[in-house]
A and B are shown apart, each in its own frame.
Chain A
Amino acid sequence: MGLFNLFNKEKKEVLDQGLSKTKESVFSKLTRAVAGKSKIDDEVLDNLEEVLITSDVGVETTLRIIERIQKRVSRDKYLNADELNSILRDEISELLLENNSSTTSDFSDPLQETPYVIMVVGVNGVGKTTTIGKLAHQFSKAGKKVFLGAADTFRAAAVEQLVVWGERTQANVIKQKMGADPASVAYDTVSSAKANGADVVIIDTAGRLHNKVNLMNELTKIKNVIQKVVPNAPHEVLLVLDGSTGQNAFEQAKQFTKATDVSALAITKLDGTAKGGVVIGISDQFKIPVKYIGLGEGMDHLQVFDRKNFVNSLFEQ
């Protein structure tokens, strides 16, 4: 298939594998929704609502999708429910692609500036450190020199966890002791990376709930301090969201953006949940692109997100 030329085969397999649970459940639900129906009536739409809401798409987005399908049905006089799948795929693709058409990038692409600084933020337990480990692995594999900054100085053994990832991925880890000022760790990391000619710097931060104002201010401070070393940094503020999170993900996206101008999202744990729906909802309501998705615990289970392929994988038969 021509569409998948962008995506090499190995990657596609991981994506399919990881999403197979999502796919199965959206499919089986959808099949049930349209079973024995020859036209799209209120009952089919009700069932569709259930499918979307139980996939965490969210009430607002679900209503929008249904509205669009209703409009299209009345415009096209399209009555056969068998093709609901393809209509739905169209509509969701459109919601995802409408926002902005950020091109697919890859880890081996040349960087706009070195060191290219990525600051990673998110609530507790979403998988920030694991995502950083996977990113470090991908960048190292692509021949880039990677520095990691252990600015989570709060959670017990967070520094050790990052150090282990550094060993696994041949990345340098810059650290201070537990309880140290995270901004100071970030400053050290970026300075040291600059002095040593690193290509990529990834700053880990402590998980924090988005309603804790003081902790959110701390993030703003870390960001400002990084700018003192590299004026354009951070080039990317990556907000990590747990793929099994419900509607709270929207609030997280909102609050973290307020504190740090989040520029990209990473959605983790997509291998285990019946969703991925959260991706559709967030893409619909925020102008922040989803850049990476996590599909498992292995070092290779991280991919650059591609909307088209994502939707295709979701609805492919």
Chain B
Amino acid sequence: MFESLSERLERSFKILKGEGKITEINVAETLKDVRKALLDADVNFKTAKTFTETVKEKALGQQVLTALKPNQLMVKIVHDELAALMGGSSVDINLKGSPAVVLMSGLQGSGKTTFSGKLANFIKTKRGKRPLLVACDVYRPAAIEQLRVLGEQLAIPVYAEEGNNNPVKIAENAVKHAKQQGFDVVIVDTAGRLAVDEVMMTEIAAIKKALSPQEILFVVDSMTGQDAVNTAREFNERLDFDGVVLTKLDGDTRGGAALSIRSVVNKPIKFVGTGEKMDALDVFHPERMADRILGMGDIVSLVERAQEQFDEEEARRLSKKIAKNQFDFNDFVSQIQQVKKMGNLKDLASMIPGMGKALKDVEIDNDAFKGVEAIIASMTPAERSNPALINGSRKQRIAKGSGTTVVEVNRLLKQFDQMSKMMRMATTGKFGKKRRG
């Protein structure tokens, strides 16, 4: 995501390369390009203007620092300003209260129902609380059914009242129900509505009044154009919401809405939706997002995701084995499985600095490991724990069993050999002390 913005910025910065210092003249052309890049990314017109002015001031003010090259300095300034614009540090969701009530709001098709499911799943699995989903979209055909199906998938209860057309009443009853049944968090999904629809805006204001939610979230499609800011402002005036959720960020080449909304309504972006699966939800980190925009990758998110999935016990056991040169194909397979657990391979790869751009048009097959797994599965337990056993006739048998060729088996054995050597060097400290996981 954001590839095009970072590409554009990269190109802009190239103009500055080779210049000795930032001057009014050499910065003007770059800033013009920065502004254009921002506008192309749907950053609000006024925000883009203010932003380039701030960057210019900072850049000219920092002339004295000549240790850095001007383009490096500009990248730093733009990065810092982007992060500042998006809110500096991340803000957590407020789940205090018994039950805590979370109210969704937003336009049609922004992804409220899908996000409600993801949030419930997040609260259940990451926060260890008991959530209740409430279906208050009584207008769109099958909206209630949609939430019900999601609830079933996630094994999270859904409160709905068939035949009741009053969302305020449904919401009130749901909270009562949650109190009786001891739910910790009530997530109220509502119908999509336009900010100019007076009747519908009054309705959601009434829901707010009846429930006094701990957290009102405004859900917005990250592909929204210049109007994102206006819509956010109007919803904010009516609801004084607590946070913003940016959806569909996995598909976008841009996402300027993220840059503008906080600066205009002064409310933090709390979550981002990054896929259609129910666990495709990330906490929003302004700093990391700025890195991502600039093509600096998102190593922190990657490491965190890895930490979540990797079993520490297992990691310790493994590093011992590597140190003793006992790393075998059983460990190799369990490594592959752990990487696969971390999620979509392309998503993972695009978090590595510099990879986002390179991978723009590449589709990484999630089955990339299939051939390797097949080969290993065709080995005997003895071969797996002692690869040195594998001779010519064994190779032929393995190739036949896995539907591959001896060449492929050889390639895997060679890769495996190199890999275990590398790992040993890394863990035994030849390349300096390095922690695993």
B residues in contact with A214, CB < 8 Å? 363
Instruction: Choose from B40, B248, B363 the contact partner of A247 (Cβ within 8 Å).
Output: B40
A residues in contact with B250, CB < 8 Å? 209
Interface string of B83-116 (1 = CB under 8 A from A): 0000000000000000000000001111101000
Interface residues of B in 230-249 (CB under 8 A from A): 230-231, 248
Q: Which of A157, A242, A278 has the most CB of B within 10 A?
A: A157
CB–CB A244/B225 < 8 A: yes
CB–CB B36/A123 < 8 A: no
B residues in contact with A163, CB < 8 Å? 142
* In the complex with contacts A54-B226, A123-B251, A272-B107, A59-B39 CB distance below 8 A: yes
B residues in contact with A155, CB < 8 Å? 146
CB–CB B150/A156 < 8 A: yes
CB–CB B254/A247 < 8 A: yes
* In the complex with contacts A123-B223, A210-B251, A247-B42, A269-B145 CB distance below 8 A: no
Q: Which of A56, A59, A275, A297 has the most CB of B within 10 A?
A: A297
Secondary structure of the B side of the interface? loop
B residues in contact with A251, CB < 8 Å? 253
- Minimum CB distance partner of B250 in chain A: A209
Interface string of A173-209 (1 = CB under 8 A from B): 0000010000000000000000000000000000001
CB–CB B223/A157 < 8 A: no
CB–CB A21/B196 < 8 A: yes
Cα–Cα distance between A24 and B219 once the two chains are bound (Å): 26
A143 within 8 A of B: no
A residues in contact with B147, CB < 8 Å? 156
Q: Which of A50, A156, A249, A271 has the most CB of B within 10 A?
A: A156
- Minimum CB distance partner of B43 in chain A: A246
A115 within 8 A of B: no
Q: Nearest-CB distance from B348 to chain A (Å)?
A: 16
A111 within 8 A of B: no
CB–CB B226/A56 < 8 A: yes
B434 within 8 A of A: no
How many residues of A sit at the interface, in one of the four size bands? 35 or more
B residues in contact with A133, CB < 8 Å? 141
B221 within 8 A of A: yes
Q: Nearest-CB distance from B220 to chain A (Å)?
A: 10
Cα–Cα distance between A309 and B43 once the two chains are bound (Å): 30
CB–CB B141/A244 < 8 A: no
Instruction: Choose from A178, A209, A213, A245 the contact partner of B225 (Cβ within 8 Å).
Output: A245
A77 within 8 A of B: no
CB–CB A271/B248 < 8 A: no
CB–CB A274/B227 < 8 A: yes
B residues in contact with A209, CB < 8 Å? 248, 250-252
- Minimum CB distance partner of B364 in chain A: A213
Q: Nearest-CB distance from A79 to chain B (Å)?
A: 27
Instruction: Choose from A127, A164, A210, A247 the contact partner of B142 (Cβ within 8 Å).
Output: A164
Interface string of B20-58 (1 = CB under 8 A from A): 000000000000000010011110110000000000000
- Minimum CB distance partner of B221 in chain A: A125
B256 within 8 A of A: yes
- Minimum CB distance partner of A161 in chain B: B142
CB–CB B111/A247 < 8 A: no
* In the complex with contacts A246-B42, A272-B194, A55-B226 CB distance below 8 A: yes
- Minimum CB distance partner of A155 in chain B: B146
A residues in contact with B198, CB < 8 Å? none
CB–CB A211/B253 < 8 A: yes
A residues in contact with B142, CB < 8 Å? 157-158, 160-161, 163-164
Cα–Cα distance between A178 and B231 once the two chains are bound (Å): 34
- Minimum CB distance partner of B37 in chain A: A59
* In the complex with contacts A156-B150, A274-B230, A247-B225 CB distance below 8 A: yes
CB–CB A157/B145 < 8 A: yes
CB–CB A245/B224 < 8 A: yes
Cα–Cα distance between A50 and B226 once the two chains are bound (Å): 11
Q: Give the total of B residues in contact with A, Cβ under 8 Å.
A: 48
B residues in contact with A170, CB < 8 Å? none
B140 within 8 A of A: yes
- Minimum CB distance partner of B365 in chain A: A214
Q: Nearest-CB distance from A59 to chain B (Å)?
A: 5
A residues in contact with B197, CB < 8 Å? 272
CB–CB B36/A246 < 8 A: no
Q: Nearest-CB distance from A246 to chain B (Å)?
A: 3
A residues in contact with B150, CB < 8 Å? 156
A314 within 8 A of B: no
CB–CB A248/B363 < 8 A: no
A residues in contact with B45, CB < 8 Å? 50, 53-54
B149 within 8 A of A: yes
Cα–Cα distance between A53 and B46 once the two chains are bound (Å): 10
CB–CB A278/B225 < 8 A: yes
A126 within 8 A of B: yes
A212 within 8 A of B: yes
CB–CB B111/A125 < 8 A: yes
Q: Nearest-CB distance from B137 to chain A (Å)?
A: 11
B123 within 8 A of A: no
Q: Nearest-CB distance from A87 to chain B (Å)?
A: 22
CB–CB B146/A244 < 8 A: no
Q: Which of A126, A212, A242, A246 has the most CB of B within 10 A?
A: A246
Q: Nearest-CB distance from B62 to chain A (Å)?
A: 29
- Minimum CB distance partner of B148 in chain A: A157
Cα–Cα distance between A285 and B248 once the two chains are bound (Å): 25
Cα–Cα distance between A73 and B421 once the two chains are bound (Å): 73
Instruction: Choose from A156, A160, A178, A245 the contact partner of B141 (Cβ within 8 Å).
Output: A160
Q: List 27 A-B contacts (CB under 8 A).
A: A53-B45, A56-B225, A123-B251, A125-B110, A125-B248, A133-B141, A156-B113, A156-B146, A161-B141, A161-B146, A164-B142, A178-B149, A209-B248, A211-B251, A212-B251, A214-B363, A244-B224, A245-B224, A246-B42, A246-B224, A246-B228, A247-B40, A247-B41, A248-B225, A272-B197, A274-B226, A278-B225
In addition to A156-B153, A297-B139, 4 A-B residue pairs with Cβ atoms within 8 Å of each other are A160-B145, A178-B149, A245-B221, A247-B42
Closest A-B pairs by Cβ, 5 of them: A246-B225, A209-B251, A125-B109, A246-B42, A272-B194
